[in-house]
Amino acid sequence: MIPPLLRTWLFSVGLLLLSHLSTAHAQATYNLTAGWNLLGNGTNAAIPVAATFSDTSKIYSVWKWNKTTRTWAFYAPSLSASALAAYAQGKGYDVLTTLAVKDGFWVNAAIAATITASSEPFAAPPSAGATVPSATLTETDLALGWNLVGNADGKTPSQLNSIQV
């Protein structure tokens, strides 16, 4: 038999854990057309690429520009992990594993489809006092030259163009 005080503590910890599990991930729905789709991660959490874009009947490839290294990162669900790594290395690409907050990306879809992207549901919750990443673009999100970004603040291309870097 569990003592009442321990039972209360276990119940409280269970509620806290459920609270974190239900809020520790974000979702986004993408309505894809057949062919190339320009999208962005406007959520407040990273999206795991392989888990989200793994259906070979719907997805040919996913691409992201890395503004820091100035290279493309690439994912194709039709390739095994080793074949993907070999192909990417042979072409000078990185293997795309995660779409960070504010990442813009291209998806080459085989068919029109709806994809629901979820961040890792068991991601560690932010530490006390930590700020949750915001999907609102700021000038510090842009590097000199080409950028491929996503946002959730509804800025038009001309508004983004007016940001001084």
Instruction: Give residue 130's pLDDT.
Output: 55
Task: Summarize the confidence of residues 64-91 as an average pLDDT.
Answer: 95
Report which of 88, 110, 100, 140 is spatially closest to residue 35, judged by C-alpha positions: 110
3-state secondary structure (DSSP) of residue 126: coil
Indicate the pLDDT class of residue 84, thresholds 50, 70 and 90.
very high
* Structure confidence at residue 74 as a pLDDT band (50, 70, 90): very high
Residue type for position 94: D
Instruction: Kindly report, residue by residue over 117-164, the tens digit of the pLDDT.
Output: 876 544 444 555 555 567 777 777 888 888 888 876 766 667 766 765
Instruction: Using the structure block, give the residue that is written with the tokens 């291309």.
Output: 157
> Above 70 in pLDDT, residue 15?
no
73-101 burial, b for 16+ CB within 10 Å, e for fewer?
A: bbbbbebeeeebeeebeeeebbbbebbeb
**What is the rounded distance in angstroms from the CA atom of residue 49 to the CA atom of residue 77?**
9
Task: Kindly state the DSSP code that residue 43 receives in the 8-state scheme.
Answer: S
Tell me the mean pLDDT in the region 45-68: 95
